Amino acid sequence: MRIVFFMILLAVRICHASEPSNGWSDRFSEGKALLTSGNYAAAARAFREALGIAVHSAVTDQQLVELHDALAGAYAEAGQFAESEGEYRCALALVEKAEGRHSLNYAFLLATMAILPTQTGNRDEVIALLREAIAAHVRVGYSENITIIRECLAQILRKEKRYQEEEPLLLDALADLTKQKEATPALICSALNNLAVLRFDQGRYEESINLQEQSIRVWQISSGKEHPSLIAPLNDMALAYVRMGRFDDADVTYRRAIDICRRTLGEDHIAYGVLLKNYAFVLRKLGRGREAKKMETQGRMIQRAVNRRNGVGATVSVTALRSDPTVSDPR
């Protein structure tokens, strides 16, 4: 399982948000700052309060879409997937009414909602709509929204093990970014991480590790060494170490990921639970069975609690963090 880069998608979206109206701009700006720092639960509270003020103010539908979108992304990063889906659906309804289902904004929102763990149904219609959106809008030139749609579509295809269709989307996304003199670091990290996951699925573990190392370097330069967005590439890199039998390297990598997760996201976040379960496998390989049992039990308890909160059974962990079937529960 793997962390999905909800924060990346949201951060890029918010950078282009229109200037908010007086009355809720302070809370909106506060939410953006909290989001950037990795304090997702507090960001969600700020966006929720801003939305509460905005609905009673003279705001445009576009501004309401931006607020629902921001709140949806913050909820997703905080592990509140059911709440996130609800906000995305509110935003989609507004955009559909104003622009129709074939607009770029509709496709963007649909793509970011479709990678939520709550989205487990038939994906064929979503895949078709996203492909149509890419084809219709790519000729207008580079767009960060198109890059993000490509990456989301690649993640959807990955769930169905359609790797041959996934790869060109990821390579196109990276090609988009290389054309830009100042591409958003978060998008670069997302593209590198997603390609690394594909290489892992293809059994190309050394390449996967090299790509994750690149992603980690970019994150550390742009956001520091303790940002929660480092958890995803660290977890994925540790899984590659496990597949290669490099358990000491996996041990060090997991301990760093767990430490960052505990201090930034908290011990009740789904990512923390999956990390503990993944690390338990490594501990067993290192002959530390008692520690492994304790961590695995704690991880399962956290996952069950999150599943109950989201009301989606055992599906939450599927996209919260990536795990190897030899390490944790099969997907």
Stretch 292-298: mean pLDDT, rounded?
95
Q: What was the pLDDT predicted at 313?
A: 43
With a cut of 50, say whether residue 17 has pLDDT above it.
yes
Q: What was the pLDDT predicted at 309?
A: 76
Q: Are residues 165 and 65 part of one domain? A: yes
Stretch 272-276: mean pLDDT, rounded?
93
Q: Are residues 151 and 259 part of one domain? A: no
Q: Are residues 269 and 159 part of one domain? A: no
Q: Are residues 327 and 286 part of one domain? A: yes
Q: Are residues 129 and 222 part of one domain? A: no
> Cα angle at 183 between 182 and 189, to 5 degrees?
135
**Lowest-confidence segment of 23-37, 66-80, 271-285, 317-331 by average pLDDT:** 317-331
With a cut of 50, say whether residue 7 has pLDDT above it.
no
Domain that holds residue 75: 1-183
* Number of other residues whose CB lies within 10 A of the CB of residue 319: 25
Q: Are residues 178 and 255 part of one domain? A: no
Q: Are residues 227 and 286 part of one domain? A: yes
- 156 is a domain residue: yes
Q: Are residues 259 and 140 part of one domain? A: no
Q: Which residue has the higher pLDDT, 282 or 184?
A: 282
Q: Are residues 115 and 35 part of one domain? A: yes
Stretch 188-199: mean pLDDT, rounded?
93
| Per-residue tokens: 244 | 């290669």
- 107 is a domain residue: yes
pLDDT in tens, 48-107: 999 999 988 888 999 999 999 999 999 998 888 889 999 999 999 999 999 999 899 999
Q: Are residues 163 and 36 part of one domain? A: yes
- 17 is a domain residue: yes
* Average pLDDT value over all residues in the chain: 85
Q: Are residues 134 and 4 part of one domain? A: yes
19/60 Cα distance (integer angstroms): 11
Q: Are residues 112 and 10 part of one domain? A: yes
Stretch 223-251: mean pLDDT, rounded?
94
Of 151, 134, 119, 127, the C-alpha closest to 5 is 151
- 190 is a domain residue: no
Its pTM surpasses 0.85 = no
154/160 Cα distance (integer angstroms): 10
CATH number at residue 116: 1.25.40.10
Percent of the chain residues topping a pLDDT of 70: 85
Q: Are 187 and 10 in contact (CB under 8 A)?
A: no
